[in-house]
Structure 1
Amino acid sequence: MENKKIVSLQVSKPKQETFANVNIFSAMNKQAVDTVTVTKSGLMGDGVGNEKFHGGPDRVVCFYPYEHYALWNEKFNKRLDIPAFGENVTVAGMTEDATYIGDIYQIGDAIVQINQGRIPCSTISHFNREAGLLKIVMKTGFTGYFARVIKEGTIKKQDEILLLERQQEKITVQFATEVILHGRDGEEGASALLAVDSLADDWKQRAVKRIQAVQD
């Protein structure tokens, strides 16, 4: 199957930061590395600022498609430096509309499974000093996505990303994100998400709430 490419690999521990005059405890300001050790609970040297809404075993590795950077650079008339979205892996060839919930990838000797899109917070706007960034990212659904770790291992920047298994070809990350963020296809869309066993528990709960909201 087709191999994907790592453009950049990065980690950071959370710390008190000031972005656009806003003081935040965050791990957004990630630093590029050549190698990272991946465990089922997290990446070595990495962390999250708010454990209530970020991190956990279903959100170990954060991916963001490199292809979107050109759009944001044009939109805001400036260059957003990688990783503008606090991602661990900036990846080429894996946009949200070409990546499916349940996809299993080998990267180096680690194996991960894509299980949900990302719901970004206002930190991305503060970090990039663009007040409108969060709103337009949410609108487009170009949010990036998360993976759980199936097999622990080491990832190197030069490693290829090999698709080992595609469990289904109906629910892309883009579709799932549009259902969760925008209620795409109403009850039918949420039910379609629930039919995918590998969907993260948090997103299963969100899909149930979508159905309940439609039925109420």
Structure 2
Amino acid sequence: MKKIGMVNAVLVGKIVPFAKGSQSAINKKLTTDRQQASRLGFIHDEQGDRRFHGGVEKALHCYASEHYPEWRKELGEKPIFQALGAFGENISSIGLNEDTICLKDKIRIGTTLLEVSQGRMPCWKLNIRFEQHDMAQRLQNTLRTGWYFRVLDEGYIGEGDEIILCDRPYPDWPLSRIMKLIFEGCLDEQALQQVLNLPLVDSWRKLVENRLEKHLVEDWSSRLYGPEE
């Protein structure tokens, strides 16, 4: 076991009305209380659209706090950068990112045991939240998306907890490598087959299978830019 980072903050949010007739709990707020993590995430946290957020495979979203300075350089001092939680994260981390965390890593935080399940596929709600028409596309292009954890052993997580790597079965597959292949529209059969041999979540597996079968890259305009007004 090896310490690879620290929990900078934990955050939870409630469902409220959002843009384009939707609901969202993306506005996560810092909490100083240790949060209980169930199989579906923090018990005091909510998700506005369970079709795309939450569930066992996306129980907790982690985002590297080190990304914030990079966004400030690129987008300026937007008010939303004044506090953590800008990206709707449940865990703000220090010391790890999409290049250094790998698929299926088993991670101990506090009394929980977590497993890295997938990178985030950013959606149009980020555009509204950041008042930046292409924010979701920017996250995708930079691979600074954050990632999701499954909760293997339920427990409690709090600010200042160490992030401990317990097992790394796929050291050659940091999430950034997988996301780069997906987001850049790779159609190389050999590369896609390598990805398909990994223990992907069902939605990513179907995506790769469809690419191999149809030799076409998906149309992500609806996810990235949202429904028409």
Superposed pair shares fold, TM > 0.5: yes
CA distance in 2, matches of 1:2, 1:145: 18
Distance apart, 1:55 and its partner CA: 1.4
1:88 is matched with which residue? Answer: 90
Percent identity over the alignment is 26
- What SS class does the counterpart of residue 205 from structure 2 fall into? helix
| Alignment counterpart, residue 147 of structure 2, candidates 119, 140, 145 | 145
CA distance in 2, matches of 1:115, 1:17: 27
CA distance in 2, matches of 1:176, 1:167: 15
| Alignment counterpart, residue 159 of structure 1, candidates 161, 167, 170 | 161
CA distance in 1, matches of 2:88, 2:191: 29
Distance apart, 1:185 and its partner CA: 6.4
Cα pair 2:187 2:215 within 8 Å, conserved: no
Cα pair 2:11 2:31 within 8 Å, conserved: yes
CA distance in 2, matches of 1:46, 1:143: 20
Structure 1 188/13 Cα, relative in aligned 2: closer, same or farther at 3 Å? Answer: farther
| Paired letter, 2:44 | G
Mapping of 1:166-181 within 5 angstroms?
166-181=168-183
Counterpart check, 1:62 vs 2:61: yes
- What SS class does the counterpart of residue 90 from structure 1 fall into? strand
Cα pair 1:28 1:85 within 8 Å, conserved: yes
Distance apart, 1:180 and its partner CA: 2.1
Q: Which deviations, in whole Å up to 9, do the C-alpha atoms of 1:39-76 show, x marking residues without a partner?
A: 11221111211111111110001011111111111111
Distance apart, 1:143 and its partner CA: 0.8
- What SS class does the counterpart of residue 215 from structure 2 fall into? helix
The number of aligned residues is 212
Which deviates the most, 126-135 or 58-67? 126-135
CA distance in 1, matches of 2:3, 2:155: 21
2:15 is matched with which residue? Answer: 14
2:49 is matched with which residue? Answer: 50
CA distance in 2, matches of 1:194, 1:106: 27
Counterpart check, 1:200 vs 2:201: yes
Structure 2 gaps of 5+ residues are 218-229
Q: Which deviations, in whole Å up to 9, do the C-alpha atoms of 1:165-204 show, x marking residues without a partner?
A: 001111111111122222336223322222222x222211
Structure 1 gaps of 5+ residues are none
2:132 is matched with which residue? Answer: 130
Counterpart check, 1:113 vs 2:115: yes
CA distance in 2, matches of 1:118, 1:215: 21
TM superposition score normalised by structure 1: 0.91
| Alignment counterpart, residue 27 of structure 2, candidates 19, 29, 34 | 29
CA RMSD, 1 decimal: 1.8
Cα pair 1:101 1:114 within 8 Å, conserved: yes
1:72 is matched with which residue? Answer: 71
TM superposition score normalised by structure 2: 0.86
- What SS class does the counterpart of residue 102 from structure 1 fall into? coil
